[in-house]
Amino acid sequence: MGIQETNGTPQIDPTSEDNYRNFLDSIFEKQNEDPHRYGGRQVAGQFVQELFDILFAGFFSDLNFRDRTQVEDSISRFLLDAKKKLQPYLVGSNGPEINWVLSEFKKELPILYDLIWRDAIAAYKGDPAAESVKEVILAYSGFYAIAVHRVAHVLHRLRIPIFPRMLSEYAHEKTGIDIHPGAKIGKSFFMDHGTGIVIGGTSEIADNVKIYQGVTLGALSVSKDLASIKRHPTIEENTIIYAGATILGGDTVIGRNSIIGGNTWVTQSVPPYSVVYQKNEIRVRNSKELDNVIDFSI
């Protein structure tokens, strides 16, 4: 089909024109399979930006509220616009009714706001390099990723199809941090540096947990028909997980106040107050070995 090769020479398939017409027809037909317009992936970014413009006025936007009424009016306008963005994902699904979703989301906003600010404070207290909470809000990718996750998780709990996953992928693209919207994350969560962190959808993370770059909270291999079971680990409060650690399995529980060392591989539970680490061996070469130096170039 299309361009073929005969004895190394490209030859045009005589049916390629028909193939191209079929290709055009397929695009036309698929757009009409669902008459509702989703607006593309950029809608997720717009949703987050418009909400954060309000929640972080003066940080993420130039908004300058003169009184509480202006704040309330801005939230009302946001919810009205959100209705247009979310409605297409609910039509024809088994999901809830849009007005109920927006009413519940509005109720969640104060809780959401408090959680996000606690995360910012946790990052400031947990990173000696942070000079202020303002710096965390404006410059820390880990803070941005958890803030977006908080929003996505609320919409996930409200049974909005697809859109919460779009929000998490938007944050993933911007920060390199991949958190499934289903993950349950407690208060004062801090991802230091953050790049390469992966947190699976059935993960449960308690309060005051700190995670470094490259950590994976993943699943042991399971078949598709077991997708609804808990596949990802539980991390109890006050745990620190250092860079590159991999923790797998739905039955795996990391007990409270534990430390998981860098580059460790954990597939079974550890009790509270544990320290898990990978032992490195240091050997000093003798003079005879110096003639055969292995020189790595990266």
Q: How far is the C-alpha of 264 from the C-alpha of 166, rounded, in Å? A: 31
Contact 228, 209 (CB under 8 A): no
Task: Characterise 133 by phi-psi region: left (phi > 0), alpha (psi -120 to 50), beta (else).
Answer: alpha
Q: How high is the mean pLDDT of the chain? A: 89
- Between 121 and 220, the higher pLDDT residue: 121
Q: How far is the C-alpha of 81 from the C-alpha of 47, rounded, in Å? A: 9
pTM, to two decimals: 0.85
pLDDT tens digits, one per residue of 136-159: 999 999 999 999 999 999 999 999
Query: Distance between terminal CA atoms of the chain?
Result: 42
Per-residue pLDDT averaged across 249-255, rounded? 97
- Looking at the chain, list the stretches that DSSP marks H as alpha helix, in order from N- to C-terminal side: 16-33, 42-55, 68-90, 98-126, 133-139, 141-157, 163-175
Residue 110 neighbours by CB distance under 10 Å: 9
Which residues contact residue 44 at a Cβ distance below 8 angstroms, ignoring those fewer than 6 apart?
163, 166, 167, 169, 170
Contacts 24+ apart (CB under 8 A), 231-236: 231/200, 231/201, 231/202, 232/183, 232/199, 232/200, 232/201, 232/202, 232/203, 232/204, 233/203, 233/204, 233/266, 234/203, 234/204, 234/205, 234/206, 235/203, 235/204, 235/205, 235/206, 235/209, 236/206, 236/272
**pLDDT tier at 228 (50, 70, 90 boundaries)?**
confident
Instruction: Supply the pLDDT for residue 167.
Output: 97
The DSSP line for 254-268 is E-TT-EE-TT-EE-S
Per-residue pLDDT averaged across 263-290, rounded? 86
Instruction: Supply the pLDDT for residue 21.
Output: 85
Q: What does the DSSP 8-state code read for residue 113?
A: H
Instruction: Supply the pLDDT for residue 26.
Output: 85
Half-sphere CA count of 265, side-chain side, radius 13 A: 1
Instruction: Supply the pLDDT for residue 297.
Output: 46
Per-residue pLDDT averaged across 164-188, rounded? 97
Q: Which domains does the chain have, with CATH numbers?
A: 39-176 (1.10.3130.10), 196-279 (2.160.10.10)
Asked if residue 250 has pLDDT above 90, the reply is: yes
Q: Which amino acid is located at 140 in the chain?
A: Y
Contact 162, 169 (CB under 8 A): no
Instruction: Supply the pLDDT for residue 278.
Output: 87
Which residues contact residue 204 at a Cβ distance below 8 angstroms, ignoring those fewer than 6 apart?
183, 184, 232, 233, 234, 235
**pLDDT tier at 287 (50, 70, 90 boundaries)?**
low
Q: How far is the C-alpha of 28 from the C-alpha of 70, rounded, in Å? A: 44
pLDDT tens digits, one per residue of 28-64: 887 766 655 677 789 999 999 999 999 999 898 888 8
**pLDDT tier at 296 (50, 70, 90 boundaries)?**
very low
Reading the block at residue 252, the tokens are: 């795996």
Contacts 24+ apart (CB under 8 A), 92-95: 92/34, 92/36, 93/161, 95/159, 95/160, 95/161
Contact 84, 119 (CB under 8 A): no
